[in-house]
Structure 1
Amino acid sequence: MSTNPSSPDAESARLIEQSLESVREALGGLRYGHVGLTVHEGRVVQIDVTEKRRFKSG
């Protein structure tokens, strides 16, 4: 049984892979902070990245 590239399962897998790649990119350059995901109806619709920058005094 072959998978139709335009089938709902294939589309869902593609969206999941895109979401994971976006999360990987967000984490890639982050040293301190957090990454938050907003999910609607089982799909990632927003990624929030908060970076903390620490400065040494003196």
Structure 2
Amino acid sequence: MASLNEKKVQQILTVLKKINYGSVLITIHDGEITQLDSTEKKRFTKTNTAKSHGNY
């Protein structure tokens, strides 16, 4: 089992509280948490605009 200490737990909780959409990756080596990566996705909705002139 990974070793947890208060600092690591607080870092994980901080990332989880800030992210709305995305992923959190916790890397463990020899039973120790060694890295925390987060990727947040920003999605934009398509807006209805006038038809283009065929240019893409």
Q: Higher RCO, 1 or 2 (CA under 8 Å, sep at least 6)? A: 2
* TM-score between both structures, scaled by the size of structure 1: 0.68
How many residues align? The count is 45
Normalising to structure 2: TM-score of the pair? 0.70
Q: Say what the alpha-carbon RMSD is for the aligned residues.
A: 1.4
In structure 2, list runs of 5 or more residues that go unmatched.
48-56
Tell me which structure has the larger Cα radius of gyration: 2
Unaligned runs of 5+ in 1: 1-11
The structure in which a higher percent of residues are helix is: 1
Superposed counterparts of 1:14-53, under 5 Å: 16-53=5-42
1:3-51 Cα shifts (integer Å, max 9, x gaps): xxxxxxxxx6xx5211111100111110000100001111111001011
